Amino acid sequence: GRGVPLTMASGAPDRKIKQVIAIMSGKGGVGKSLVTGLLAVSLRRQGQQVGILDGDITGPSIARMFGTKGQPTKSANGGIEPLRSKGGIKIVSMNMFLEKESDPVVWRGPMISSAIKQFYSDVDWGNLDYLLVDLPPGTSDAPMTVMQALPLDGVIVVSSPQMLATMIVMKCIHMVQQLKGSIVGVVENMAYFETPNGERYEIFGPGNGTELVAMTGAPLLGNLPIDSVLTTLCDAGRVEEYYAEAYEEMAANFINTLRI
Ligand code: ADP
């Protein structure tokens, strides 16, 4: 890095990034990256300046979801210029530094966290209302060191209905609490599937949003359906074209929560 001191202190008045929010999940595949991406899309639609730091560098999907191609360039003041999505979201992902998108990143926790620290400090983010950090999944040392290294204002925990039963989400919540982080909200993804005539099926079991709220003391920001249109758009790099009430509501709840 440039030797920029990174501290846990946040909220400095001169800081160019107003809110640094990490998105985490107890394990991979629950939709953490998707929630990060779609939260960014909704916030951007509302005219906010948004950046995404794709810290899930063991399986970076943010750049793919937004269809951003190419490598970041050097910015005028010597930092790294982030890529921009069509809608104007600033994105930096490990994917952008790999030779081939399919190259595996076989790194240990400390290497991952130092890469992410560099993404935070060496990227020329400019003025941002929100920097969303897509954390590595799980509760290993990688997400933990990232959480300690960045001046986080809050954490969003993404869960799916069956996760409470397995206690995976509890581990996640305990980790944030141990690190004295603040959970600003919980999101339940893949909560149900809705048929074209409006019938809802809870494919992965009944929702547990109420329990999550009780355990964290944080509000339920979203209850998100399974939607194949969404998966298709993500695979095509066109996530910004997706619009669904449930996601707009999540973003509105998120903004309101931070205001309180
Ligand atoms: P994670 O970041 O937790 O590993 P992802 O966000 O990459 O998970 O999601 C895993 C896969 O599931 C992706 O292909 C994504 O498009 C799909 N997916 C996640 N949530 C939903 C949803 N609500 N509806 C449809 N597909 C989803």
What is the rounded distance in angstroms from the CA atom of residue 68 to the CA atom of residue 90? 10
Region 44-73: what's the mean pLDDT? 88
Instruction: Residues 22-259: name the CATH superfamily.
Output: P-loop containing nucleotide triphosphate hydrolases (3.40.50.300)
**What is the 167 CA–ligand 1 centroid distance (Å)?**
20
Q: Is the CB of 231 under 6 A from ligand 1?
A: yes
pLDDT score at 197: 93
CA distances from 100 to 81, 104, 135, 238, 239 (A): 20, 9, 22, 21, 22
Across 17-21, 111-115, 233-237, least confident range: 111-115
pLDDT score at 99: 65
**What is the 119 CA–ligand 1 centroid distance (Å)?**
24
**Ligand 1 atom closest to Cα of 35?**
6
What is the rounded distance in angstroms from the CA atom of residue 97 to the CA atom of residue 71? 7
Q: φ, ψ for residue 76 (rounded to 5)?
A: -55, -35
Nearest CA to ligand 1 atom 20: 31
Render pLDDT for 6-34 as a digit per residue (tens, 0 to 9): 333 344 444 599 999 999 998 888 999 99
Nearest CA to ligand 1 atom 19: 31
pLDDT score at 11: 40
Q: Is the CB of 22 under 6 A from ligand 1?
A: no
Would you call 67 exposed, middle or buried from its count of C-beta atoms within 10 A (0-12, 13-18, 19+)? middle
Which sequence spans correspond to the domains of the chain?
22-259
Compute the half-sphere exposure of residue 5: CA atoms within 13 Å on the CB side of its CA: 4
Region 203-230: what's the mean pLDDT? 92
ipTM exceeding 0.90, yes/no: yes
Nearest CA to ligand 1 atom 26: 231
Q: How far apart are the first and last CA of the chain?
A: 35
